[in-house]
Amino acid sequence: MNKLVVIGAVVAIVALFLVAIVPMWVMTADIGLSPAAWGAIVLMVVGCFGVGGGLMFLIFYSARKGYDDDAHHGAGPRRGDTDGG
């Protein structure tokens, strides 16, 4: 039952985006972009994928090298902490 709700919500969100975006795309179809604008778009897309890929690399690298173990398992009491609770 939960899967159907999630799938229905995703389909509804995609449909909402399509209803909102397609008319705007059709209205601007006859507008041309300069080569500088296309270059900016390409740089933005490459940069976004580069930053996202780099962050994902760092997450997996950190997890495999064990840097996250203290945070995952909970670090013990710090120096100076009291047990008085």
Domain ranges of the chain: 2-27+34-70
- Give residue 22's Cα distance to chain centre: 23
- DSSP type of residue 83: S
Burial class (CB in 10 A: 0-12, 13-18, 19+), 1: exposed
Closest by CA position to 59, among listed 72, 51, 68, 70: 68
Q: Residue 24: what pLDDT?
A: 86
For the stretch 9-54, pLDDT in tens is 999 999 999 999 888 888 887 778 899 998 999 999 999 999 999 9
- Give residue 71's Cα distance to chain centre: 22
The structure's pTM equals 0.49
Q: Residue 43: what pLDDT?
A: 97
Q: Residue 66: what pLDDT?
A: 83
Q: Report the alpha-carbon distance of residue 38 to residue 31 in Å, rounded.
A: 13
Q: Residue 4: what pLDDT?
A: 92
Most confident among 10-14, 62-66, 71-75, 78-82 (mean pLDDT)? 10-14
**pLDDT for residue 74 is more than 70:** no
